[in-house]
Amino acid sequence: LCYDRLRRRREWVTDEVPDVADPAPLPDAHPGEEDHRVKQALQGIAPRQREAIILVYYQEMSNIEAAATLQIGVDALESLLARGRRSLQTILTRDGADE
């Protein structure tokens, strides 16, 4: 029954990253620069990892809601999130070293 309700109100996931204001930008970063770097890095990770991160961190869904939306188990979602965060960290660290 709960899954039926979640499916009925399911939001469609796209490859677009929604604009989100950073509540505490880094002091040495120009406004919007860090947000732009994260958006670019999101495009460099696996699509399922990107979808999981967008649902949980940008659309502020719970892990249970996001897992139901993606039609996977919560454990699988948490695995996608962990791998996605690791991939983002690698990309952002590498890109930061290139500057």
The answer to the question of residue 47 being in a domain is: no
Q: pLDDT value at position 16?
A: 58
pLDDT tens-digit map of 22-59: 545 545 556 577 788 888 999 999 999 999 999 999 99
The answer to the question of residue 30 being in a domain is: no
| DSSP of 51-85 | HHHIIIIIS---HHHHHHHHTS-HHHHHHHHHHHH
The answer to the question of residue 84 being in a domain is: yes
Separation of alpha carbons 34 and 43, rounded Å:
15
43 Cα distance to chain centroid: 10
The answer to the question of residue 96 being in a domain is: yes
Res. 73: pLDDT tops 60: yes
User: Could you tell me the residue range of the domain that residue 98 belongs to?
Assistant: 1-8+53-99
The answer to the question of residue 27 being in a domain is: no
Q: pLDDT value at position 31?
A: 58
The answer to the question of residue 14 being in a domain is: no
The answer to the question of residue 69 being in a domain is: yes
Separation of alpha carbons 32 and 34, rounded Å:
6
Q: pLDDT value at position 35?
A: 81
Counted domains in the chain = 1
Q: pLDDT value at position 2?
A: 57
The answer to the question of residue 33 being in a domain is: no
Average pLDDT, the chain: 80
Map tokens 């983002």 to a residue. Answer: 88
